[in-house]
């Protein structure tokens, strides 16, 4: 019995220290955002202030970076999700070595360090955009960053969509075709609605991944600025509590977003359970009927 108690204590202590390690740095940073001291620190507390949050709201460079990040995130979603959908569908129509070959190509961006994707994108598009005569339009930081990020974010999205596609019942498609539906109708009215949850979550994932990406962005962004590259320049040149304030805002937004997401998921689970039991009851009533 004491052995069991000892075991539980050790496990408890391990979890405690793990989560102190996980959340401690964020808490310390959060507290430093409220300290009047111009150097971000927790102790000694010179006074409590919201000054750093005000400074954040009037910081033109940061806001410009934020805007670019949102624009890039938007285009990454618009490009990656359709690419990933096409990629996942093609995967189901290839077999044997062709499938392995294709799989290797589309998964490679996940296993390649982000900086290498950024570098390859910049060096290639510098020359290629010149060749197709669109250098003035294509060779700029925002476009290149969208291209570089899309290459690996599409791979992530494809894996999400593939997971759902594996559960797709091909009989549904055949039935629709037999009943006279055209191929594009099957695609639009059967496949897309079935994949909707996966498409939505891959869109969310694509935006968030793009928003917080630094590795590929730092090479591809050229003269433009995203939130992460502005932050990196700030953090390197010196520390300021404004950065802590920004991080605090991001952490709070993350917590709110995760809670909302969790709440939506639970509500859907509950609804599905209700619908399922209603359907079962109906079925039972029919079977027991006259």
Residues 267-286 binding other proteins (CB under 8 A) are: none
Using the rule CB under 8 A, which residue among 49, 112, 140, 201 binds other proteins? 112
Using the rule CB under 8 A, which residue among 55, 78, 159, 176 binds other proteins? 159
24 or 284: whose CB is closer to other proteins? 24
Using the rule CB under 8 A, which residue among 134, 172, 200, 255 binds other proteins? 255
Q: Does 147 bind other proteins (CB under 8 A)?
A: yes
Using the rule CB under 8 A, which residue among 16, 39, 279, 283 binds other proteins? 39
263 or 279: whose CB is closer to other proteins? 263
Q: Does 145 bind other proteins (CB under 8 A)?
A: no
Q: Does 263 bind other proteins (CB under 8 A)?
A: no
Residues 203-242 binding other proteins (CB under 8 A) are: 208, 211-215, 218-219, 228, 231-232, 235-236, 239
Q: Does 13 bind other proteins (CB under 8 A)?
A: no
Q: Which residue has tokens 């070595």?
A: 97
Residue 30 to residue 40: CA distance in whole angstroms = 10
Q: Does 125 bind other proteins (CB under 8 A)?
A: yes
**Contact string (CB under 8 A) for other proteins, positions 179-208, x = contact:** ---xxx--x--------------------x
On whether the CB atoms of residues 201 and 81 are closer than 8 A, the answer is: no
Q: Does 36 bind other proteins (CB under 8 A)?
A: no
Q: Does 60 bind other proteins (CB under 8 A)?
A: no
User: In the numeric block, which tokens belong to residue 16?
Assistant: 């405690």
Q: How far is the CB of 20 from other proteins (least distance, A)?
A: 11
* Size, binding site for other proteins by CB under 8 A: 95
Using the rule CB under 8 A, which residue among 65, 73, 87, 141 binds other proteins? 87
């Amino acid at each position: 019995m004491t052995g069991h108690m000892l075991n539980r204590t050790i496990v408890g202590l391990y979890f405690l220290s793990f989560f102190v390690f996980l959340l401690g740095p964020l808490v310390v940073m959060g507290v430093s955002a409220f300290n009047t001291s111009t150097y971000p620190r927790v102790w000694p507390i010179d006074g409590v202030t919201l000054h750093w949050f005000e400074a954040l709201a009037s910081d033109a460079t940061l806001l410009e970076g934020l805007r670019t990040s949102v624009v890039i995130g938007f285009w990454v979603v618009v490009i990656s999700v359709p690419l990933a959908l096409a990629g996942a569908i093609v995967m189901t129509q290839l077999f044997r070595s062709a499938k392995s070959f294709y799989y290797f190509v589309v998964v490679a961006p996940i296993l390649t360090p982000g900086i290498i994707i950024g570098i390859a994108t910049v060096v290639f598009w510098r020359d290629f955009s010149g060749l197709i005569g669109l250098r003035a339009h294509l060779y700029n930081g925002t476009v290149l960053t969208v291209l570089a990020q899309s290459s690996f974010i599409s791979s992530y999205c494809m894996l999400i969509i593939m997971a759902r596609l594996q559960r797709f019942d091909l009989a549904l498609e055949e039935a629709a075709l037999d009943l006279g539906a055209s191929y594009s109708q099957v695609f639009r009215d059967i496949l897309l609605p079935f994949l909707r949850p996966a498409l939505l979550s891959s869109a969310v994932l694509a935006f968030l991944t793009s928003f917080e990406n630094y590795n590929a962005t730092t090479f591809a962004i050229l003269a433009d600025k995203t939130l992460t590259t502005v932050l990196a320049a700030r953090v390197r040149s010196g520390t300021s509590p404004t950065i802590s304030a920004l991080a605090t805002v991001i952490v709070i937004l993350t917590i709110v977003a995760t809670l909302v997401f969790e709440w939506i998921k639970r509500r859907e689970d509950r609804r599905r359970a209700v619908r399922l039991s209603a359907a079962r009851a109906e079925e039972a009533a029919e079977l027991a009927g006259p």
